[in-house]
């Protein structure tokens, strides 16, 4: 019987079942024991120093005169939600006003809460909706918090643990989507109704605003609070890439009639549309990746004469866009390098480069407060350049350095170079290599190739104290792949590896592996690869489809059983990315990249480490469990499995667990690749 007709490991899909948990615990203990050593302990301690360091940059967001931050360290493993002033944040010894001590809350309530974010009441900022996960998963309880009394509001808004959507309408009303009982969640495990909950009402009594079908991904409600431009929106998420934005006007929903796969932004009087496929409208064909603008009122009355704010080319893509009070900042990628441009909507969208932005770095806009000012905050980083945070005000204050991270590893003598490999279909694919300057091209270097290649996620150069200490300082070479499926060259780069074209991402990654060997950087026995989530699917396909190219594989929180992925955790929400295996025609191509069905007893595979988390309610641990069990059952050697009990899709929930997991990953890789 073929592997895709019989599944001997279905019992491992019972995530919290006694027998599967016992299996996972035994596997994890064996894996840790296999790599236990004084060296492992020392590496764990060094990595924990990075993660716990008080010299890390506390990234802030500006709301209502305060600057908010969430912080974990050795004394506060579950973290502190806190705030400060700009003057204090600029100082060497910042005074933090602690709003919520999550460790203390957990001790008081007998729950090991994990902070999942807080949403302040706009224009008031005296209240917040605080999300607390019981295990680090996506499902969280939501409770109303009073920032003045530093306490949860008695009889305030309280939402039981679920995958919920929520936002403030006013001080006494919220939009809410949550688990209201049978039939209230989609097949993807997200809310299928959005309701209006008023203060004092039981959750079950919330007034229905709109609902979608169980086949849709989810629905959510948003109230925009900008003075003079207050409006209610309902967003129908049809799948991972298609959505409809509806204006709620006097109880009637008005559809913003743009393509379902376009990204929509409403800001003051403007409607912005980011086109994800060619759109013919108003006698013009706007190409994939373009950003368009029009006044909302004109659009609703039939005008389609858009201002074109950005058009991509073969080197340049739009990474993100952020409004300040009077300007729009575009973050562009030019051959995977950051460039920022400022547009002035009040002057016909005139543009100028954002002055003072660090060159040769990955630069992101990390915060603006568009209802308050033209202030913006930037995060700058590079493979060997520690992170920096800069603050500026458009038109008056050029970006000033506010915080910089210390160096966590010795980068002296390292150089970063970009190379290009040629994939099977002739496409040129870039990758970054971090290695010693003047690297001898004799094939002797342990090399780690990292990739993702999905969901239009761009993998950009960034400083990593963990990679530096655990890999680069030992003499390893680190390589970051910019393969198709990602967003490094815009939506077209993503769709080139969508559904039936998914193998293009794998071919790109394999081409980079071959290029590293042909250039003399490494050899297959010294080349490892790693990826997590969708990147776990990527390296799972390296394991089963290109085993001759690698000496070790690390596969984290992965998708692997593509026959059943839509029935596991939140898997149904990714049909738009991979296809539907329950459709026979789509399974015909999905089966070609489903590692769980492709692994063979007579195959020859490199050593592999799978890791997952019991509490991961996005991908879940079962696909990694089943793959490890199947390979071990086939007698394939060097198959290791590790599962944290908590941590959600991140794989670990606190700094100590994160340090241990990373030490395990890099000890496994170094022991198999360094020889």
Please tell me the distance from the alpha carbon of residue 377 to that of residue 216, in angstroms, as a whole number: 36
- β-pairing verdict for 173-177 and 61-63: unpaired
Q: With b meaning 16 or more CB within 10 Å and e meaning fewer, what string describes 582-616?
A: eeeebbebbbbbbbbbbbeeeeebbbbbbbbbbbb
The active-site residue, picked from 533, 569, 573, 615, is 533
Please tell me the distance from the alpha carbon of residue 555 to that of residue 467, in angstroms, as a whole number: 16
Collapsing DSSP states into helix, strand and coil, what is residue 492? Answer: helix
The active-site residue, picked from 66, 237, 379, 649, is 649
Please tell me the distance from the alpha carbon of residue 173 to that of residue 603, in angstroms, as a whole number: 59
Q: Can you tell me which residue has the tokens 């063979």? A: 600
End-to-end CA distance of the chain: give it in Å, rounded: 39
DSSP assignment of 30-56: HHHHHH-SHHHHHHHHHHHHHHH-TTS
Residues 6+ away with beta carbon under 8 Å from 69: 58, 59, 60, 61, 81, 82, 83, 84, 96
Q: Are 378 and 399 in contact (CB under 8 A)?
A: yes
**Would you say the C-alpha torsion 291, 296, 299, 304 has a positive or negative sign?**
negative
Please tell me the distance from the alpha carbon of residue 100 to that of residue 155, in angstroms, as a whole number: 19
Beta bridge partners of 132: 115, 141
Residue 284 is encoded by which pair of tokens? 């013009």
Strands (E), 75-153: 80-84, 97-101, 114-120, 127-133, 140-146, 151-152
**Would you say the C-alpha torsion 558, 559, 561, 567 has a positive or negative sign?**
positive
**How many angstroms separate the Cα of 188 from the Cα of each of 213, 219, 561, 571?**
11, 12, 17, 7
Q: Are 191 and 177 in contact (CB under 8 A)?
A: yes
Whose CA is closest to 24, among 7, 8, 11, 36?
Answer: 11
Residue 47 is encoded by which pair of tokens? 């990595």
Residues 6+ away with beta carbon under 8 Å from 512: 421, 429, 431, 449, 451, 479, 481, 483
Residue 150 is encoded by which pair of tokens? 């530093």
**How many angstroms separate the Cα of 553 from the Cα of each of 368, 369, 403, 623, 627?**
40, 43, 36, 16, 13
**Residue 533 known to be catalytic:** yes
Phi-psi region of 110 (alpha: psi -120 to 50; beta: other; left: phi over 0): left
Q: For the packed helices 655-673 and 18-35, what is the interaxial angle rounded to 10 degrees?
A: 60
Provide the annotated active-site residues: 533, 649
């Amino acid at each position: 019987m073929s592997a895709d007709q019989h599944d001997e490991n279905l019992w491992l899909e019972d995530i919290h079942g006694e027998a599967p948990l016992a299996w996972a615990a035994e596997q994890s203990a064996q894996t840790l024991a296999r790599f236990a050593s004084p060296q492992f302990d020392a590496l764990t301690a060094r990595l924990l120093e990075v993660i716990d360091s008080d010299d890390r940059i506390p990234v802030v967001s500006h709301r209502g005169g305060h600057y908010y931050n969430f912080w974990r360290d050795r004394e506060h493993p579950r973290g502190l939600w806190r705030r400060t002033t700009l003057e204090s944040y600029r100082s060497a010894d910042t005074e933090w006003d602690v709003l919520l001590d999550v460790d203390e809350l957990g001790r008081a309530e007998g729950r090991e809460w994990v902070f999942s974010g807080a949403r302040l009441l706009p224009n008031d900022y005296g209240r917040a909706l605080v999300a607390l996960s019981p295990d680090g998963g996506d499902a969280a309880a939501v409770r109303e918090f009073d920032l003045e009394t530093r306490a949860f509001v008695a009889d305030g808004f309280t939402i039981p643990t679920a995958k919920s959507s929520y936002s403030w309408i006013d001080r006494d009303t919220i939009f809410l989507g949550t688990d209201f009982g049978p039939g209230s969640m989609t097949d993807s495990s997200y809310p299928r109704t959005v309701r209006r909950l008023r203060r004092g009402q039981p959750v079950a009594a919330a007034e229905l605003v709109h609902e979608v079908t169980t086949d849709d991904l989810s629905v959510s409600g948003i109230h925009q609070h900008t003075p003079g431009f207050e409006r209610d929106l309902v967003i129908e998420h049809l799948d991972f890439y298609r959505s409809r934005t509806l204006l709620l006007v006097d109880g009637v929903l008005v559809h913003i009639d743009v393509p379902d796969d376009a990204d929509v932004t409403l800001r003051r009087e403007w409607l912005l549309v980011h086109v994800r496929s060619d759109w013919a409208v108003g006698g013009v064909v706007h190409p994939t990746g373009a950003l368009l603008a029009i006044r909302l009122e004109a659009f609703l009355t039939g005008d389609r004469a858009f201002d074109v704010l950005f058009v991509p080319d073969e080197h340049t893509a739009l990474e993100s866009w952020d409004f300040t009070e009077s300007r729009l900042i575009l973050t562009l990628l030019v051959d995977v390098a950051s460039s920022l441009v400022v547009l002035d909507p009040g002057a016909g969208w005139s543009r100028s480069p954002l002055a003072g932005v660090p060159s040769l770095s990955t630069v992101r806009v990390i915060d603006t407060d568009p209802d308050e000012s033209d202030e913006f905050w930037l995060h700058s980083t590079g493979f060997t350049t520690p992170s920096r945070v800069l603050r500026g005000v458009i038109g008056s204050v050029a970006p000033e350095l506010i915080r910089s991270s210390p160096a966590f590893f010795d980068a002296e003598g390292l150089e970063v170079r970009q190379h290009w490999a040629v994939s099977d279909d002739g496409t040129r694919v870039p990758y970054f290599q971090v290695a010693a300057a003047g690297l001898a091209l004799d094939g002797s270097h342990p090399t780690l190739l990292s990739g993702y290649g999905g969901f239009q996620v761009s993998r950009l150069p960034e400083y990593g104290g963990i990679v530096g200490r655990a890999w680069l300082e030992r003499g390893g070479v680190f390589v970051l792949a910019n393969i198709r499926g990602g967003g490094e060259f815009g939506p077209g780069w993503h769709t080139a590896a969508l559904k039936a074209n998914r193998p293009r991402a794998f071919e790109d990654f394999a081409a980079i592996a071959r290029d590293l060997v042909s250039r003399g950087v490494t050899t297959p026995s010294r080349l490892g690869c790693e990826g997590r989530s969708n990147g776990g699917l990527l390296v799972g396909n390296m394991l089963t489809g290109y085993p001759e190219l690698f000496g070790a594989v690390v596969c984290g929180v992965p998708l692997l059983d593509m026959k059943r992925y839509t029935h596991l955790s939140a898997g149904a929400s990714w049909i738009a990315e991979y296809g539907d295996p329950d459709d026979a025609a789509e399974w015909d191509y999905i089966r070609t990249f489903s590692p769980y069905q492709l692994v063979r007893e007579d195959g020859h595979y490199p050593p592999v480490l799978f890791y997952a988390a019991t509490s991961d309610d996005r991908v879940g641990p079962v696909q990694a469990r089943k793959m490890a069990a199947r390979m071990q059952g086939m007698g394939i050697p060097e198959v290791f499995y590790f599962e944290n009990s908590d941590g959600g899709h991140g794989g670990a929930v606190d700094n100590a667990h994160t340090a241990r997991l990373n030490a395990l990953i890099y000890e496994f890789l170094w022991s198999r690749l360094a020889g």
